[in-house]
Structure 1
Amino acid sequence: MKQTAIVVAPGRGAYNREELGYLARHHGDKTSLIEDYDAYRRAQGQTPISDLDSAARFSGAVHTRGDNASALIHACAYSDFLSIDRDRFEIIGVTGNSMGWYIALTCAGALSPMNGLRVVNTMGTLMQEQMIGGQLIYPFMDANWQVIPGARANTLAKVAEIDARADHVLDLSIDLGGMLVLAGNSAGLTAFEAEMPRLQDRFPMRLPNHAGFHTALQAPVAALGQSKLGQSLFDQPQLPLIDGRGAIWQPKSNELTALRDYTLGHQVTETYDFTAAIRTAAREFMPDVFIILGPGTTLGGATAQSLILSAWRGWTGKASVQMSEPPLLLSMGRADQRDRVLG
């Protein structure tokens, strides 16, 4: 009997040093798709995806740039989606984190594979060229994935207080499980870093090569994207989609202008609520498992934390997640869990 699954697509930051060679290692059978992607990149005057993946060494300055990372992560994640064993899993919905929304659209069939690459590559390139603002991460859960009482409200109060200062911009970019991803200008980010306690020896953590995604700072990028990416790229999804508000787009029943408007408008300039997306997926679809596409493993924690916050399957913290057997959360970026997903 098949297990029902929600598929979760990663966003920026998923392809790091450990992921170098991910396409070559796992997707040698998808030569035609990758060749098409490479040809598109060459036509744009950009480094082909396969060249980035096969580089002799990982370079943060190269591999984390928006114009490179977006296309590379899209190719890895969509290839992973194609590799899921459909005899073992019935995919009943797709969602993603941030840039992962573009990948989710492709997985669900709302964008063809080439149109999906075109959208993600165009938006990633525009954000890199404009590079308006930046991002950092700050937690409100502890190392055991338990909510720290008052931490979320206190953090957001500090964000609002800094944002109200002259020449300071700071806002909530992504509600990411037990983490708050904040975006702002240099003054806003620097003030937050200086005035908030350091937690777990690494937070606040500034994200390199990340612009101020999902805030009003990105309005110019949204406008440019709308001018370059037409309505004809979008089709009716063949699978349910859960967006960054927790709203569901059901198959074959959508106003496609609204789907494009959300994708290139609200999704770019307003907070992306990944936690709400996972909560909707858990409560409305009640899947047997969540499958997180690679590359990387960074989204596993945020997905688990979102499910803890949703009181899914009685999960209350990291220990209850780790004790689940068989695993209810399968990350294709982890070798020990990847084999459970593949055909």
Structure 2
Amino acid sequence: MTRTAVLICPGRGTYNKAELGYLHRHHADKTALFAGFDAQRREAGQEEITALDGATRFSVSKYSRGDIASPLIYASALADAQSLAEDIEVVAVTGNSMGWYIALAAGGALSADDGFKVVNTMGTLMQEQLIGGQLVYPFAGPDWQGDPARKAELLALAAEIDARDGHDLALSIDLGGMLVLAGNEAGLAAFETAVPVVEERFPMRLANHAGFHTSLQAPVAAEGRRRLTAEMFTQPDVPLIDGRGQIWWPGATDTQALWDYTLGHQVVEPYDFTLAVQNAAHEFAPDLFIVTGPGTTLGGAAAQSLVQVGWQGMTSKADFKARQAEAPLLVSMGDAGQRSLAAG
């Protein structure tokens, strides 16, 4: 009996201290895959990903860097995508932010090595230029129900701050019940002062994150387009759902347009992860949503996205938890307890 699944690939911020050794723990059989990635890193004068993953100590200042985090997350996620149980049929692939690049490789629109090249190039460019920063702030309540009025209020505040002289602030990612905002120091600081502290940790700044998915990244997009050619892109093997919720279908994808979106709109415009997950649910109605590793943080945002549209009658956190306990709908491969539900 085949289980259909939508595969969800994570973005930055998912390879943390607990994930150190992920490749060695779960993917000791994929030495050939990682050898190709290590060769690219050596050529660029960078530390190999197998050495980074095999290190004995983890430091946030090092491992949160774009040129370190991005390739490690890509290798972990792609290896997970290649390790699914035989009875799972992937009907579509999506991802969050940098997870879009991983989705391209997991869905066959980029080869494993070309996908790595895209991720390593963009992660390195982002780190070298480090323009702006990001913070996270929730708008949904503890029950996960969306609060459209609160969301609109926060976005209006961001727009008002952005209009001030010397301030940059805009929506970066629509992430389930959270907003990820990006801007310059003045813009981020103004927002932090204007909103109440929630759950003792929000607004939360993200270490070593640039102002992704905003016009601040235009120089990075331009340099990425110069270094990465459209020839790398091919027809996907499975449908891909992008950061606008749009679907790229196998056999009907304009690969030049796919390149243009990936190194254009995707870099400088907001990323709507919520809509991508909701459209995946409505269009493909899978048995499972599988979030690849590393990390487990994206599961919550995916679940919140489903709850907000009342997917399969779930309209609250309690509904989702009850459904998960009965028959898991969402599986995080980065979670040791859930991994066996999806991995071969």
TM-score range, shorter chain: over 0.9
Instruction: Report if aligned partners of 2:169, 2:187 keep a CA contact under 8 Å in 1.
Output: yes
User: CA deviation digits over 1:190-217, x for unaligned, max 9?
Assistant: 0000111111111000000000000000
Shift of 1:55: 1.0
Distance 1:322 1:53 in 2: 33
AA matched with 2:36:
D
Q: Which ranges in structure 2 are unaligned for 5 or more consecutive residues?
A: none
TM value normalised by structure 2: 0.98
Distance 1:250 1:303 in 2: 22
Whether contact under 8 Å (1:135, 1:184) holds in the other structure is: yes
Q: Which one is further off, 296-305 or 136-145?
A: 136-145
Rounded to whole Å, the distance in 1 between the matches of 2:291 and 2:29 is 21
Contact 2:216–2:268, Cα closer than 8 Å, also in 1: yes
* TM-superposition CA deviations, 1:36-55 (whole Å, max 9, x none): 11111011111100111111
1:28 aligns with 2:28: yes
Structure 2 CA distance for aligned equivalents of residues 335 and 323 of structure 1: 20
Whether 1:272 aligns to 2:279 is no
Instruction: Report if the CA contact (8 A) 1:7-1:293 is conserved.
Output: yes
C-alpha distance in 2, partners of 1:275/1:213? 17
Q: Secondary structure at the match of 2:172?
A: strand
Return the letter of the residue paired with 2:97.
Answer: S
- In structure 2, what is the equivalent of residue 142 of structure 1? 141
Alignment-derived partner of residue 68 in structure 2: 68
Aligned to 1:326: 327
Q: Which whole-Å deviations, capped at 9, do the CAs of 1:203-246 have from their partners, x for residues lacking one?
A: 00000000000000000000000000011111110110000000
Superposition misfits of 4+ residues, deviation over 4 angstroms:
none
Alignment of 1:150-161 (within 5 A): 150-161=149-160
Distance 2:50 2:188 in 1: 35
Give the number of equivalent residue pairs.
342
Q: Contact 1:127–1:221 at 8 Å: present in 2 too? A: yes
Q: Which moved more, 1:174-183 or 1:146-155?
A: 146-155
Give the superposition deviation at 1:149: 6.1
Note the C-alpha offset of 1:143.
2.4
Alignment check: 8 A CA contact 1:140 1:180 kept: yes
Partner of 2:53: 53
Asked if residue 339 in structure 1 is aligned to residue 340 in structure 2, the reply is yes
Contact kept, 8 Å, 1:143 with 1:200, in 2: the verdict is no
**Which residue of structure 2 lines up, in the alignment, with residue 216 of structure 1?**
215
CA contact (8 A) 1:8 1:96 kept: yes
Give the residue type in structure 2 aligned to 1:122.
Answer: T
Structure 1: which amino acid aligns with 2:190? A
2:263 match: secondary structure: helix
Residue 150 of structure 1: how far off its partner (Å): 2.3
Q: Distance in 2 between matches of 1:238 and 1:342?
A: 20
RMSD between aligned residues:
0.8
Identity %: 60
**Is 1:317 matched with 2:316?**
yes
1:105-156, Cα deviation, whole Å (9 max, x unpaired): 0001100000000000000000000100000000011223133462111111
Distance in 2 separating the partners of 1:127 and 1:280: 29
1:41 aligned residue:
41
Distance 1:260 1:316 in 2: 37
Instruction: Report the Cα distance in structure 2 between the residues aligned to 1:217 and 1:285, rounded to whole angstroms.
Output: 35
Once the two structures are superposed, the pairs formed by residues 193-204 of structure 1 within 5 Å of their partners are 193-204=192-203
Q: Deviations over 1:41-82 (max 9, x none)?
A: 011111100111111111111111000100000000000000
Superposed CA offset, 1:144-178 (max 9, x none): 31334621111111101100100000000000000
Deviations 1:247-281 (Å, cap 9, x if unpaired)?
00000211111000000000000000001100110
Equivalent position of 2:120 in the other structure? 121
In structure 1, runs of 5+ residues without a counterpart are none
Look up the match of 1:103: 102
